[in-house]
Structure 1
Amino acid sequence: MDWFIYIAVFLLTFCVMEFMAWFSHKYIMHGFLWYLHADHHKKDHDSWFERNDAFFIFYAVISIGFFLLWQYDILKIGLSIGLGIFAYGLAYFMVHDIFIHQRFKMFRNANGRYARGVRRAHKMHHKHIGKEDGECFGMLWVPMKYLKDKK
C-alpha cells in the first residue's frame, strides 16, 4: 500500500506546483526579481535564451534536492516530491515554452478548447509589458472565462 502514498504525494506535489508557479510568477518574477523576468515580456537582446530561463534552474535544483534526500534515505517521499516537481516543470515547459511561445516549432495546430483558453490567458498576461497590472500568473489552470468560446 506504500505505492498509493507515493502516487498521492506525486500528484499532490504536481498540483501544488501550479500554486507555486502562480505565487512565484506574481510576487517574485513580477516583484524583486523582475530584472530576470523582464526580457520575457519585452525582449531586449538577440539571444534564444532569456534571463527568465534562470527560474527553471531554481526549480530544477529543488527537485534534485528531493531526489538526493530520497537517495540518502533522509526522506522516503523525496522521490515522489522530486518527480512531482520535475513533471510539473516538464508540463510547464511543454505548454509555455513550446506550445505558447513556440521556442520549438511544435504543437502549432493544437486548437482544442483548453489550448485556445491557455493561449488567451497567456496573451492577456503578456498584454502588460511592465511588472505592474499583470493578470493570469498561473500556467496549467486557466480561469473559466478564457475557456469559453467566443461567439
Structure 2
Amino acid sequence: MHWSLGILLFFGTILFMEGVAYVAHRWVMHGFGWFLHASHHRPRTGNWELNDLYALIFAVPSFLLLLGGVQLGWWPGFTWIGAGIAGYGAIYFGFHDVIVHKRLNHRYIPKSRYMKRIIQAHRLHHVVETKHGTVSYGFLYAPKPEALKAELKRRGYEGVRAPVGTFHESDRQSEHI
C-alpha cells in the first residue's frame, strides 16, 4: 500500500473516531453504560475512576487492527486504521484527561478560540451530574457555549450540579432518626 493512502486512512480514521466517540458518549456512556461513566460526572476520589475502563475498551479495536496489519498478514490498511484509532485516543487523553480534567499537573492556559470553545463546552457537559439532560458529547467539535447554555436553560437545568458548598435536600440525614 502506498504511504499516501496510509496517511489518508490515518487522518480519516481520526475524523471518523470523533463521530464514533460522539455516538458512544451520547448513547452508550449516557445510556446502558452509565454504570461506568457515572463516576466521571462525580468528584474523583483517587487517581482512577470506573469510567477509565472505557479507555481499555476502546483500545481493543486499535490493538487488534495493529496486530493484524503488522503481524498477522491482514490488509495493510488495517495498520493505518488501528494507528488512527490510537491517534484519536492520544488526542482524547491529551485534551480530555490532561487539559480539561488536569489529571496530570500542568500550567497550560488556552489562548485560541477553538481550545477555549471545546474546553468550555466540555465543562458545560459536566455541569449535569445525571445520566440525562446534558449537552455537548463530542471532543474535537463542540457547539458554541451560548447555544449549550441556552439548551441547558431550555431543559430547566435538570440534574445540574449545585455550586460547591450548596446544601442539597438529598444530602440531609433522615429527620426521623
Q: Give the alignment's TM-score, normalised by structure 1.
A: 0.90
Shift of 1:85: 0.4
Post-superposition Cα deviations, 1:32-52, rounded to whole Å, max 9, x if no partner, equal: 010100010013x62210100
Report which of the two has the higher share of helix. 1
User: What does 1:1-150 correspond to in 2, within 5 Å?
Assistant: 2-43=2-43, 46-71=45-70, 72-143=72-143, 145-146=144-145
Residue type of the partner of 1:51? L
Equivalent-residue separation in structure 2 for 1:111 and 1:138 (angstroms): 20
- RMSD in angstroms over aligned alpha carbons? 1.8
Residue type of the partner of 2:56? I
Q: Secondary structure at the match of 1:57?
A: helix
Report the more deviating stretch, 101-110 or 19-28. 101-110
Residue type of the partner of 1:111? K
Shift of 1:123: 1.4
Question: Tell me, which stretches of 5 or more residues in structure 1 are unaligned?
Answer: none
Q: Secondary structure at the match of 1:120?
A: helix
Equivalent-residue separation in structure 2 for 1:38 and 1:130 (angstroms): 8
Q: Which has the larger radius of gyration?
A: 2
Equivalent-residue separation in structure 2 for 1:57 and 1:134 (angstroms): 24
CA contact 1:36–1:54 (8 Å) conserved in 2: yes
Equivalent-residue separation in structure 2 for 1:83 and 1:146 (angstroms): 32
Residue type of the partner of 1:140? L
Equivalent-residue separation in structure 2 for 1:112 and 1:3 (angstroms): 32
Q: Structure 1 residues 63, 107: closer, same or farther in 2, change over 3 A? A: farther
Identity %: 34
Equivalent-residue separation in structure 2 for 1:107 and 1:101 (angstroms): 12
CA contact 1:99–1:107 (8 Å) conserved in 2: no
Q: Secondary structure at the match of 1:87?
A: helix
Shift of 1:107: 4.6
Number of equivalences? 146
Equivalent-residue separation in structure 1 for 2:12 and 2:3 (angstroms): 14
Residue type of the partner of 2:9? V
Q: Which has the higher contact order (CA 8 A, sep 6+)?
A: 1
